[in-house]
Amino acid sequence: MNSPAASAFSLRIATAADVAIVLDFIRRLAEYEKLSHLVVASEELLREELFGPRAHVEVLLGFEDRQPVGFAVYFQNFSTFLGRKGIWLEDLFVLPEKRGHGYGKRMLFELGKIAFERGCGRFEWAVLDWNAPSIDFYKSLGAVPLDDWTIFRVTGDALDTLARKATEQD
């Protein structure tokens, strides 16, 4: 594994000035996952959601020699069983040409540190079933797959319908 000098890689929390970088990473991640057709995010939407008055999402950016090479999007969740908050990692992405340098590992270490310092009871994320390199990577760090859980999602028209049903009950 190539290992550049420690001083060449740095991490920092994104600011509103980084919205274009974040959107670029979102698009590159979607392309990698063959899901580009699902991206509707814009700089304006991200600025409001990530940095507006009701923002609850954070972005960690990774840089090699001041050039952005990766990002992690995460937010706080809560475990009722533990009675403690946690961190949910929504996305972690390192540019394909920059993989193998330990950048993703450094980003996960930093997120683990953030979770620990905030008193979180857990740090979780999902990974696509076909993404064997990522699954192997996460397992090598001690992450355990939760094979007995299934993620459900309601979006688009189904979310609109679900919301309408709430008003029908009133």
Residues pairing with 58 in the sheet: 74
- Determine the Cα–Cα distance for residues 141 and 109; give it in Å rounded to an integer: 9
- Which residues are within 8 A (CB) of 92 and not within 5 positions of it... i.e. 6 or more apart? 70, 71, 72, 104, 107, 108, 125
User: Would residue 138 show up in a list of annotated catalytic residues for this protein?
Assistant: yes
- Determine the Cα–Cα distance for residues 130 and 27; give it in Å rounded to an integer: 19
- Determine the Cα–Cα distance for residues 144 and 44; give it in Å rounded to an integer: 36
- Determine the Cα–Cα distance for residues 42 and 49; give it in Å rounded to an integer: 11
Question: Choosing from 32, 74, 103, 138, which is the catalytic residue?
Answer: 138
Amino acid at residue number 63: F
- Determine the Cα–Cα distance for residues 9 and 106; give it in Å rounded to an integer: 9
Which residues does the annotation mark as catalytic? 138
